[in-house]
Amino acid sequence: MKVKQIQVSGTQSAETARARVLILYTGGTFGMTHDASGALIPFDFSSIVEHLPTIRNLGLAFTVFSFEKPIDSSNISPEHWKLLAEVIRDNYAAHDGFVILHGTDTMAYTASALSFMLEGLSKPVILTGAQLPIIDPRSDARENLITALEIAAAKKDDRAIVPEVCIYFDYELLRGNRSKKVESMQFDAFDSGNYPALAKAGVKIDYNHAAIRQAVNNELTLRTNLDSSIAILKLFPGISEQVVLSVFNNTSLKAVILETYGAGNAPTNSWLIEALQQVIARGVIVVNVSQCPGGMVVQGKYATSKELMQAGVLSGRDMTTEAALTKLMVLLANYDTAQCRQLVEQNLAGELSS
């Protein structure tokens, strides 16, 4: 699994450009074109200026990388996240911002993962993509890419306006680890129900400065060790003891994300509480997140969540499942169980409300 650099002609030189942005093309709907038979295949990204001549007018210099074999985002893996993080690190000093073109299906997972992997980030990393290929006359790819590039290059007092990992889609900039894909047929594919948009693009880009997370320091540190010994268990009426135990009895399991109802509520069946107590006693971390796209887990608010808290289940508060999963991947690979339990409930990269 490799990336290759692509030469793109017809854009600004680094010497005369107002900013330098790295574009990393991973695949997805954005960059599809038709072959001789009419089937959709990844297009040659070196021809991006032909598809999007407006890019010449941005006053930016570009470095373009592509996955050697562009992938559908359904095939994204932690190894791809590691590769993305390493490309950003290796080109960090020479660029003002980064734009990752990514399929929409797993974009929120990648954005969440990178927010925890790129510690000390002080430059924009903007993920974007499209619901329709760039060759389609009605494609949303053009506006998404143009504005993502503008945001990646945007500075005030020589500092990045948005020094964090974000998703830009359908005229809104969202914090990456607060985002979820919520739509497959409309252009407004993403939402961050528990956090306001960081910017909205109209005639001008209107930044919500109060919502943007400021960089803590200028030294970028990568956390590329990831542990995926995690299960996601979504509760539903009628869930059986056998199904739950089949998950909990996996000896390689290190953490479970428990998707509960409403404000963190679960059935009070004695077998479920006992199963949770036993798996937690074994050292497995269990984190409670809500199935609702908005609101938060408040363990103990109702009797149906009080027993979870007493069993040792941790509150994910208003974290998305995507953020909880990728946060745990990073924590499990870098800390012992006691430290992980403490850090899960702490806000590390803007994923939790204070």
- Residues recognised as catalytic: 29
d(C-alpha 312, C-alpha 307), whole Å: 9
Residues 6 or more apart whose Cβ sits within 8 Å of residue 51: 43, 134, 135
Helix or strand or coil: residue 201?
A: strand
Contacts for 281 with CB less than 8 Å, ≥ 6 apart: 312
Rounded CA-CA distance 263/246 in Å is: 26
How many residues in total does the chain contain? Answer: 354
Q: Which residue has the tokens 């503008």?
A: 150
End-to-end alpha carbon distance in the chain: 39
HSE-CB for 69 with a 13 A CA cutoff: 3
Provide the residue type at 28 as one letter.
G
Give the SS3 label for residue 24.
strand
Dump the DSSP string for 261-300: BTTTB----HHHHHHHHHHHHTT-EEEEEESSSSS---TT
DSSP state of 184: S
Closest CA to 164 of 77, 97, 105, 100: 97
